[in-house]
Structure 1
Amino acid sequence: MTWAALTSGGKDSILALQKALDAGMDVSYMVTVVPDNPDSYMFHSANLAAVPVIAERCGMTYVGIPTPGEKEDELRDLEKGLAALPIEGVIAGAIESEYQRSRIAILCERLGIAMFAPLWHMDPLALLHEVAERMDVRIVVTAADGLGENVLGKRIDADMINLLCRISAKRRIHIAGEGGEYESLTLDAPCFSSPIRCEGWHTEFSCGRWVAAIERFW
């Protein structure tokens, strides 16, 4: 059974991919929706140039699906892209978002393929600890009170988890970023043949979000 992993390169989608590989699943494609709209309802837009490099490190074929990023239309673009692939299932990194999970499930049902969502309803703290123990993940977008430019580029490790927990206690943010409080980028994981390298970090502030924009990945 051939699978495609939906990924932005962030911690959730890469951890879901890793769990699929741990289970012995045949994952041949890494699929990224590339929205023109930075405020896409479903998909991340920051530093997506890293994903083709991640796919190469994982020995998978990269598939980029462009979309204007408008609500619901972006799902139709994803469906068209997946329909063109010789796959029998899709891997998703949804944790708690019913909006995300249900729409991908409906899409898979229409295509007659399976969906594997191993992080669904996983405890967020346990998820972060697994990320910290198994992966090198950096915060590249912040969009919540208590999280600003100062944490951009920081690794999700024990200290960062403690910080997220403290901020959550005061500000009620979701510690795993499920509410869009932050976005991440995976630089290394067990499924990578070698870590991702990058250069040209600079920070930008736009539309209420701090973004670490990275110029080059290899």
Structure 2
Amino acid sequence: MAIPVAVMFTGGKDSTYALHWAVLHAFDVKVLLSVKPKRKDSWMFHYPLVEVTKLQAQALEIPHELHYVSGVKGREIDEFKEILLDIKERYGIRGLVTGALLSDYQRMNFNIVCEELNLKVYSPLWRKNQERYMVELVESGFKIIITAINSMGIPVKLLGKVLSISDIHDIIRLSRRYGFNPAFEGGEAETLVVDAPLFKRRIEIRKSRVIREGPYSYRLLLEDVRLTEK
């Protein structure tokens, strides 16, 4: 019998890949769970584009829930535990799938919370080779854009562009030169998946603009985002 799970979902490459893995491995994905911290410096949770995760869930045709936590270190873990307990009771899940790749803090806290709730954690990306992973994503049909840059060396021209294999190789080359993580696990950039093998429809960004927030910090402001047929 398929194991019922929730998938932690930010709409970025890692959580979308983790969802892809769960479906390929015959898990019963009951719900996509997005948790948005009220502070941008949260240690535990990314700062997802809330409106777009809702559209992505519609494109995937999977139930989606958005919950908020304070973003305060320590307190947000307790808040997340309450959220996950509610999800467990309402959806009957027995496990949680995460896109954790390198963060020991994130993985440890997911494991602690889930152990207390008698849930099993699945982290298919954990310690995966990051350069090979980035190539594999694009080769597997994931259409990924960069929505924020926070590091020297990442070209601003990549903001909002669907990344090609050539772009990925450029990112890998630049990561070796400038020292940033090629999969952006240090927060060097944020990503958004606009299409993937499991999407029934794709995300179309009709209007956006780039905002400069610092010397090496840029953000893509999405002003008009819609679902469209593939």
**Is this contact kept in 1: 2:95–2:121, CA < 8 A?**
yes
Aligned partner of 1:213 among 217, 221, 230? 221
Q: Within 2, Cα distance between the matches of 1:217 and 1:154?
A: 14
**Is this contact kept in 2: 1:47–1:213, CA < 8 A?**
no
Q: Percent identity?
A: 28
User: Following superposition of structure 1 onto structure 2, how do residues 65-144 of structure 1 map, counting pairs within 5 Å?
Assistant: 65-85=67-87, 86=91, 87-133=93-139, 134-144=141-151
User: Helix, strand or coil: the match of 2:201?
Assistant: coil
Name the residue aligned to 1:151. Answer: 158
What is the CA distance between 1:148 and its match in structure 2?
4.9
Distance 1:68 1:215, change over 3 A: farther
Name the residue aligned to 2:189. Answer: 182
**Is this contact kept in 1: 2:30–2:63, CA < 8 A?**
yes
Normalising by structure 1, report the TM-score.
0.94
Task: Extract unaligned runs of 5+ from structure 2.
Answer: none
**Is this contact kept in 2: 1:65–1:77, CA < 8 A?**
no
What is the CA distance between 1:2 and its match in structure 2?
1.3
Instruction: Work out which of the two has the higher radius of gyration on C-alpha atoms and give 1 or 2.
Output: 2
What is the CA distance between 1:125 and its match in structure 2?
1.5
Q: Tell which deviates more after alignment, 152-161 or 168-177.
A: 152-161
Q: Within 1, Cα distance between the matches of 2:10 and 2:104?
A: 18
User: Helix, strand or coil: the match of 2:203?
Assistant: coil
**Is this contact kept in 2: 1:132–1:157, CA < 8 A?**
yes
Paired positions, count: 218
Distance 1:46 1:61, change over 3 A: closer
User: Helix, strand or coil: the match of 2:53?
Assistant: helix
Q: Within 2, Cα distance between the matches of 1:72 and 1:156?
A: 36
User: Helix, strand or coil: the match of 1:60?
Assistant: coil
- Given the alignment of the two structures, is residue 50 of structure 1 paired with residue 56 of structure 2, yes or no? no
**Is this contact kept in 1: 2:149–2:217, CA < 8 A?**
yes
**Is this contact kept in 2: 1:7–1:30, CA < 8 A?**
yes
Question: AA paired with 2:204?
Answer: R
User: Helix, strand or coil: the match of 1:106?
Assistant: helix
Q: Within 2, Cα distance between the matches of 1:156 and 1:124?
A: 16
Name the residue aligned to 2:172. Answer: 165
What is the CA distance between 1:113 and its match in structure 2?
0.5
- Given the alignment of the two structures, is residue 199 of structure 1 paired with residue 201 of structure 2, yes or no? no
The higher-RCO structure (CA 8 Å, 6+ apart) is 1
Q: Within 2, Cα distance between the matches of 1:149 and 1:68?
A: 31
Name the residue aligned to 1:30. Answer: 32
Structure 1 residue ranges, 4+ long, deviating more than 6 angstroms after superposition: none
**Is this contact kept in 2: 1:148–1:210, CA < 8 A?**
no
Q: Tell which deviates more after alignment, 183-192 or 197-206.
A: 197-206
Q: Within 1, Cα distance between the matches of 2:183 and 2:105?
A: 17
Distance 1:191 1:168, change over 3 A: same
What is the CA distance between 1:101 and its match in structure 2?
0.8
**Is this contact kept in 2: 1:200–1:216, CA < 8 A?**
yes
